[in-house]
Amino acid sequence: MNTISFEWLLARRFLTENKGQTSIIVLGIAIGVAVMVFLTALIDGLQANLIQNTVGRSPHIVISSEENAAADALKTFDGEKVLLIDASQKTMRPIVEWRSLTNSLTGDSRIETVLPVVEGAGLIRHGQVNRSILLKGFDIRNGDRIYDISDSIIAGSQNVQEGAVLLGKDLAADLGVSAGEPIQLELSGREPLTVMIDGVFDLGVSSINQRWLIMDQRKAAALLGKGDRISTIEMQVYDVLEAENLAREWGTRLPDYQVKSWQESNASLLAALRSQSSSSYTIQVFVLLAVILGMASVLAISAVQKSKQIGILKAIGIRTGSVSRVFLYQGLVLGVAGTGLGFTMGLLMSQLFVVLAEQEYTLLVKPATAAIIISATVLASALSAYLPARQVSKIDPIEVIRNG
């Protein structure tokens, strides 16, 4: 016995009978869903933008030896303390077996770019001016995949050659050097030497523009006297948010090294993002709750309005379960229609916001978030049919018949 088609027919007729009521509840659900979609789009878009700004042009994971890592932490401090690095660097343990390490990292399909880097602190003299610098040596072509240096040259040949020596924009300005001019480079424990500057770059990050001197890996290793050793391996991964897990995984495989993700280095930013997300979730849960309550009450009112018809249907043999399902289907239809409309409205609102507020970032609706919103709302619609379904099960046909 298959009574589904009659239950659907009944649900449809009940819904179309009072089109005004049906439209209002669909609109109510739609507004709730639109708010949820817009809010997620806004927050997720904002966060993706923030994360992109944070990690877009920097390594997501850095592998280094323990001592080197300690130096790494100090590097970001002002000029005075940078000199301390020179001392600590003497105890730094360089990465010797970097070739095999690079190979196995490249074999990990989740890792996009693997960049072996030779690093060392030093001093540049030019005329009267001294500036402490960080010498970064890596393969420029490969490095482009993280830093996009070739597209960031503001002085000198745009076509960056293999052995080019490149200076940060702010550093060049401080020193008063331009492309094609020589500088005096003093690396710790080495003889001062003269180096030609081939180009000046602007990576858009002042800490880099102020401190970095970039050259080829082998050249840097030779100048620093490192032989065939490197300091760190920098990586970018495909899924930025997975970097932390990936770093932990590789960390256990490489117990001799420190494997640090961008998340570890930006813990406070992430904490802020997380609390932003959770307040957004809280709002969404309450919106969903309001949608459920609204729909449940409308369906319950409709059940009362239809109690006479339900009573007579019961008298002529419809089962209570069937009637409950009729209300479940009504809830589902309202939920699906409201969700569809609301989703479209939410996307339009997001688009409008981007245009009107002249946002530089795009609002983002992740497929997973979309799926959660859709299934939560549709599920909530079904759930909100519970109340009316219970109500109709209590309708006694005799009461209806007696009262005409």
State the sign of the Cα–Cα–Cα–Cα dihedral 237, 239, 241, 245: negative
Nearer to another protein, 255 or 404 (CB): 404
| Minimal distance, residue 34 CB to another protein, in Å | 31
| Minimal distance, residue 1 CB to another protein, in Å | 5
Nearer to another protein, 6 or 286 (CB): 6
Give the C-alpha separation, 188 to 350, whole Å: 54
Nearer to another protein, 285 or 315 (CB): 315
Question: What contacts 120, CB < 8 A, 6 or more positions away?
Answer: 89, 134, 135, 187, 188, 220, 223, 224, 226, 231
Question: What contacts 143, CB < 8 A, 6 or more positions away?
Answer: 115, 149, 214
Map tokens 């970018």 to a residue: 236
By DSSP bridging, strand 111-126 and strand 166-168 are unpaired
| Minimal distance, residue 306 CB to another protein, in Å | 9
The burial class, CB within 10 Å (0-12 / 13-18 / 19+), for 192 is exposed
| Minimal distance, residue 44 CB to another protein, in Å | 44
**Could you tell me which residues are beta bridge partners of residue 130?**
125
Nearer to another protein, 59 or 311 (CB): 311
Helix (H, G, I), strand (E, B) or coil at 103: helix
Tell which residue, 360, 376, 357, 378, has the closest CA to residue 368.
376
| Minimal distance, residue 5 CB to another protein, in Å | 6
| Minimal distance, residue 392 CB to another protein, in Å | 13
Nearer to another protein, 143 or 388 (CB): 388
Nearer to another protein, 90 or 402 (CB): 402
| Minimal distance, residue 303 CB to another protein, in Å | 14
Binding site for another protein (CB under 8 A): 1-3, 5-6, 9-10, 13-14, 16-17, 308-309, 312-322, 397-398, 400-402, 404
Nearer to another protein, 235 or 318 (CB): 318
Question: Which tokens belong to 1?
Answer: 């016995």
Question: Which tokens belong to 199?
Answer: 């180009």
